[in-house]
Amino acid sequence: MALSGFVDFFQKGKTFKPKKKFEPGTLRYSLHTQAQASLSSGINLRAAVLLPPGEDLNDWIAVHVVDFFNRINLIYGTISDYCSEASCPTMSGGPKFEYLWADGNKYKKPTKLPAPQYISLLMEWAEGQINNESLFPVSTDIPFPKTFVSQCKKILTRLFRVFVHVYIHHFDRLVAIGAEAHVNTCYKHFYYFIRQFDLIGDRELEPLQEMTAHICKDPPIDYTSSPSRSNHR
For residue 23, what pLDDT is reported? 56
Instruction: State the number of CA atoms in the 13 A half-sphere of 143 facing the CB.
Output: 5
For residue 139, what pLDDT is reported? 79
The rounded distance, in Å, linking the Cα atoms of 207 and 190 is: 15
For residue 17, what pLDDT is reported? 52
User: Is 182 marked as a binding-site residue?
Assistant: no
For residue 75, what pLDDT is reported? 92
- Torsion sign across C-alpha atoms 23, 28, 31, 35: negative
> Using alpha carbons only, how large is the chain's radius of gyration in Å?
17
User: Is 186 marked as a binding-site residue?
Assistant: no
Inter-axis angle of helices 57-79 and 27-40, nearest 10: 60
For residue 37, what pLDDT is reported? 54
Question: Along the 233 residues of the chain, how does pLDDT read in single tens digits?
Answer: 444 444 455 445 555 555 555 555 554 555 556 556 555 555 688 888 999 898 899 999 999 999 999 899 999 999 999 999 999 999 999 889 999 999 988 999 999 999 999 999 999 999 999 999 899 988 778 899 999 999 999 999 999 999 999 999 999 999 998 888 889 989 999 999 999 999 999 999 999 999 999 888 755 555 443 333 333 33
User: Is 32 marked as a binding-site residue?
Assistant: no
Alpha helices by DSSP H, listed for 98-201, are: 115-130, 148-176, 180-196
What residue ranges define each of the domains in the chain, with the CATH number in brackets?
A: 3-225 (1.20.140.30)
**Are the beta carbons of 136 and 69 closer than 8 angstroms?**
no
For residue 125, what pLDDT is reported? 96
List b or e across 122-151, with b for residues whose CB sees 16 or more CB atoms inside 10 angstroms. Answer: bbebbbebbeeeebbbeeeeeebeeebbeb
CB atoms closer than 10 angstroms to residue 13: 14
The rounded distance, in Å, linking the Cα atoms of 100 and 110 is: 5
The rounded distance, in Å, linking the Cα atoms of 180 and 177 is: 8
For residue 61, what pLDDT is reported? 95
The rounded distance, in Å, linking the Cα atoms of 155 and 86 is: 27
- Which of 156, 209, 152, 184 lies closest to 75, judged by CA? 184
